[in-house]
Amino acid sequence: MLRIINNFNFLRISATEAISYSTSSNTLPYNPALLPVKKSHRKPRWVPIAKSKIFRIPKRPVIPEDETREIRRLFNDYRNHEKSVKNFLVEKHNTKNQASLDPEEILKSFKQDLAVCHEINNKWNKENKILREKRLAEELERDIAFAKNRIEQEIIKEQELFEFTEELVRKEKEASVNFITKENIDDAIDKALAEAVDYNFAIDLNGEKIIGRNTKPVQEQDKISLKQ
Amino acid sequence: MLPPASGTGIYTSVSPKVIRLLRQGCTNRPFFHVVVAVNRAHQSRPVIEQVGSYDPMPNRHDEKLVALNFERIRFWIGNGAEVSKPVAQLLGLAGFYPVHPTSYLQAWKTREKMEEKNEEKSN
């Protein structure tokens, strides 16, 4: 698609038009940024010499005789060397000098290449295998150490929890001595009835507490000061 | 999206090709692609292939960076592509081609200038 757009640009045909000529189904949206701008790097032919430059005579460079000879020699040598390099490259890389397009030979060379690739790949695999095994062993060691550490921590945690629960149970057991059970419930009821406790009290004008529902305030020993 | 380095230019087996510099970059910032193009084609035309790049402005390490795809250059020269002078100079400095005489000339001039400067300093 890009090829079509770029090359139709030369004929001054818009990209959208160019796309319309193509048989390909994937269409690019028109984007002027895709198109190279044709810019001239010199002035047009019909523009005359600038007036200020009409009578300007460029100064000829003065090169000494021996230097000229040296430069000529350099260029001659360069051309020779260049030619030889080019010829070498033509001999080696020109498509006309390439090996025949016999499919069997191509397949053969491909297989040879593949064998070399396999060899290299196997070598790398071997190297990597050593590294991988080493790394895996290290990782396993690390994981085992981590797991052991975790197990120890879990044991300590469990121990602490066990001790905590034990403490709770012990305290409860100590407290349960005075609990009322099925066996001693009758005694407890009898005792409670026998020792009735009266929590009622009244406060007189002086702020003094008078304990008991039916107590009379005159009795001296029942007076208890709130300020105490 | 830029045109791919593999190029989109249309060419035939007999069209004369040339490896030359193609000025990219922008105003006051030259940057060149080393491209294979049809000899007569205008510089704005799509190229056959890009085989390298050349940044003529020295970077902060005082280097002018060149990248060349020697495999493809070998191929194209082997298939009859000409090499323009600036590219030949680059290839010469890269050791792919013989050193171009203009490189020597430039070196002479630079050396002369440096010597003059040193003399001025010493005086």
Contact between B79 and A94 using a beta-carbon 8 Å cutoff? yes
Q: Which of B77, B85, B100 to mutate to test the interface with A (most CBs of A within 10 A)?
A: B77
Residue A28, pLDDT above cutoff 90: no
Q: What is the pLDDT of residues A121-174, one digit of tens each?
A: 999 999 999 999 999 999 999 999 999 999 999 999 999 999 999 999 999 999
- Percent of chain B past pLDDT 70, that is, above it, reads 98
Judged by average pLDDT, the poorest of A140-149, A174-183, B1-10 is: B1-10
Choose among B105, B34, B41, B95: nearest CA to A67: B105
**Per-residue pLDDT, A211:** 85
Residue B15, pLDDT above cutoff 60: yes
Interface pTM (ipTM) of the complex? 0.90
Q: What is the pLDDT of residues B41-97, one digit of tens each?
A: 888 888 999 999 999 999 999 999 999 999 999 999 999 999 999 999 999 999 999
What is the rounded CA–CA span in Å between residue A82 and residue A183?
A: 122
Q: Which CATH architecture has domain B17-122?
A: 2-Layer Sandwich (3.30)
The mean predicted confidence, pLDDT, of chain B is 92
Backbone angles phi, psi at B93, to 5 degrees: -70, -30
Q: What is the pLDDT of residues A44-101, one digit of tens each?
A: 889 899 999 999 999 999 999 999 999 999 999 999 999 999 999 999 988 888 766 7
Residue A204, pLDDT above cutoff 60: yes
Q: How confident is the model at residue A207 (pLDDT cuts 50, 70, 90)?
A: confident
Contact between B8 and A3 using a beta-carbon 8 Å cutoff? yes
A3 touches chain B (CB under 8 A): yes
Choose among A83, A40, A209: nearest CA to B42: A40
DSSP tag of B82: E
Q: For chains A and B, what is the number of CB pairs under 8 angstroms?
A: 66
Which residues touch B96 (CB under 8 Å, ≥6 apart)?
B68, B70, B73
Residue A34, pLDDT above cutoff 70: no
Choose among A101, A84, A87: nearest CA to B78: A87
Contact between A85 and B75 using a beta-carbon 8 Å cutoff? no
The answer to whether the CB of A21 falls within 8 A of the CB of A3 is no
Q: How far is A15 from chain B (nearest CA, A)?
A: 14
Cβ atoms within 10 Å, residue B23:
13
Q: How far is A69 from chain B (nearest CA, A)?
A: 13
B95 touches chain A (CB under 8 A): no
Return the domain boundaries, chain B. 17-122
H/E segment holding residue B102: helix B101-122
**Per-residue pLDDT, A36:** 56
- Residues 124-183 of chain A whose Cβ lies under 8 A from any Cβ of chain B: none
Q: What is the pLDDT of residues A108-124, one digit of tens each?
A: 989 999 999 999 999 99
Q: Which strands make up the sheet holding A201-203, listed edge to edge? A: A201-203, A209-211, A223-224
